[in-house]
Structure 1
């Protein structure tokens, strides 16, 4: 019951966050220079035509009234109507969000698969050569821009070795798996240093605990002590770090999707910015905000399920 109350409380606190996001998204978009009506009609449009388009798009209404209409549409699952594509933003997002979700999930899996073995190895050999190498080498991935790292992976694994496609997302599950490896690896390599350092620090702290010393004194093997006892408890504190960084990578997918020509909502948002398609930018930004809030909520709930002290606090 206590766990359910905690999860419900966290869900309630997400509501004002999303409401504040709607305010920021709507009013920040309206501060961007440029007239969507004039952009749609072209440079040769007459003032009368621009005025008529303003009325058609509802841009001649007071800003507060536009915001209330925007909020009302959101509550009904309507993200607006695209000026450029002449289509529902909701349908555009539905057609592209799968590629973004593939990228986010695959990046998280790769980051965990790379970070956990490295952190365990470094912590179990604290101060040794392996520990120093593992702490230093991954930092290069943290300092590399996503677009540069993605291009390097394309040159090596796609063009030179021919192991993966240069760009695109494929037409079926096999094509999706092949097309998502390099983009996901690009994002994962930038997250690995943070996760390695966090988990390594937690592992070192746990390995110095009294119950680990007792387990070793009972004759339990070193591998079992590290994996079954130390890693399980050290991972609890690293879940928050992982969740925060997954929320961060949700927004960082824009550049990666562009580099690898993935048909995700990040690419849709960039196209919307260039086309001054305000409803698309607003709609995709709100989708990103919901994804970030959902990831943070899932992180808190997962952390609480593994550590009862969180609910007690």
Structure 2
């Protein structure tokens, strides 16, 4: 179990990362031109009313004082109160988190279901037309923006064929899953283009490794060698690459949720930025940062569990 000793000290290394993210987010959101109080009350608001709103939300305090208030609330498990929605930010996020979680989890599952078969076919048919076709498709997928791909899927599968809803989230669980197919497929197609190339290269390298050669010398069929030796060892770098792209996936949820009108955290983040709702933007940015850091940490644990040779 000494291989897992990093689990004890790695979280301590992540604290400075989260602190830096909180500082950068805090400064950037307040650098956006605009006054939250005036956006909230309108252009005809009196100076007295504006001053009252600024004092109520602490917007009249120096920037460093506002940040200290933010850290104090964060240490107490509070993220402040939304200026626009007039409720606690954590309660607001709790009502919006389900679509985002379904989008991220569904996208990862779909991307793996696409990546593993395509990479396996390409690796086992290296240099043949099937391999070239898969490489061509994955290369083309690297240049497709998520918003354009989402719109194309809506036109093809929703408008023309009527297979899936155009937008929304649905009411029942089955309806929600039906609504989530196109958003998840949009992200999965873009993500699988990156993963397929990486997994194919790893599989080709593992097929030429010493353990694969030794297995062939023992007379094992090629399909058994591929399943027992090549595929498990090839998944390690792909898991790491997937963890690295989790940040992109979470950030991409902002665009996808906007295209498909999903009431998730991404759409709430966009609305908070336009409304200068500082508390909402800070809380969602911190939630995304924590999720990214935790997923990368879990990927490290999974990598060590799969391959005993790895030390972190």
Q: TM-score, normalised by structure 1?
A: 0.96
Distance change in 2, residues 1:214/1:3 (3 Å): closer
- Offset of residue 226 of structure 1: 1.1
The separation in 1 between residues aligned to 2:44 and 2:23, in whole angstroms, is 34
Deviations 1:236-264 (A, max 9, x none): 12110111112320111001001111110
Structure 1 segment 107-126 matched on structure 2, within 5 A: 107-126=107-126
Corresponding position of 2:26: 26
The separation in 2 between residues aligned to 1:78 and 1:87, in whole angstroms, is 12
Structure 1 segment 153-172 matched on structure 2, within 5 A: 153-172=153-172
Corresponding position of 1:8: 8
Corresponding position of 1:205: 205
The separation in 2 between residues aligned to 1:53 and 1:310, in whole angstroms, is 55
Provide the secondary structure at the position in 2 that maps to 1:79: coil
Contact 1:236 1:307 survives alignment (8 Å): yes
Structure 1 segment 58-207 matched on structure 2, within 5 A: 58-207=58-207
The separation in 1 between residues aligned to 2:111 and 2:183, in whole angstroms, is 12
Contact 2:233 2:307 survives alignment (8 Å): no
Provide the secondary structure at the position in 2 that maps to 1:308: coil
RMSD: 1.3
Contact 1:123 1:131 survives alignment (8 Å): yes
Structure 1 segment 211-222 matched on structure 2, within 5 A: 211-222=211-222
- Offset of residue 274 of structure 1: 1.5
- Offset of residue 83 of structure 1: 0.8
- Offset of residue 67 of structure 1: 0.6
The separation in 2 between residues aligned to 1:215 and 1:25, in whole angstroms, is 52
The separation in 1 between residues aligned to 2:39 and 2:189, in whole angstroms, is 40
Q: TM-score, normalised by structure 2?
A: 0.96
The separation in 2 between residues aligned to 1:237 and 1:141, in whole angstroms, is 20
Contact 1:195 1:241 survives alignment (8 Å): yes
Deviations 1:94-142 (A, max 9, x none): 0011110000000000110001111111111111111111111122222
The separation in 1 between residues aligned to 2:234 and 2:217, in whole angstroms, is 20
The separation in 2 between residues aligned to 1:184 and 1:142, in whole angstroms, is 17
Contact 2:254 2:266 survives alignment (8 Å): yes
Matched residue count: 312
Contact 2:4 2:304 survives alignment (8 Å): no
The separation in 1 between residues aligned to 2:195 and 2:153, in whole angstroms, is 21
Provide the secondary structure at the position in 2 that maps to 1:309: coil
- Offset of residue 78 of structure 1: 1.3
Structure 2: tracts of 5 or more residues without a match: none
Contact 1:247 1:296 survives alignment (8 Å): no
Deviations 1:49-89 (A, max 9, x none): 21222111111222211111101111222121111111111
Contact 1:22 1:71 survives alignment (8 Å): no
The separation in 2 between residues aligned to 1:237 and 1:40, in whole angstroms, is 48
- Offset of residue 304 of structure 1: 1.7
The separation in 2 between residues aligned to 1:29 and 1:254, in whole angstroms, is 16
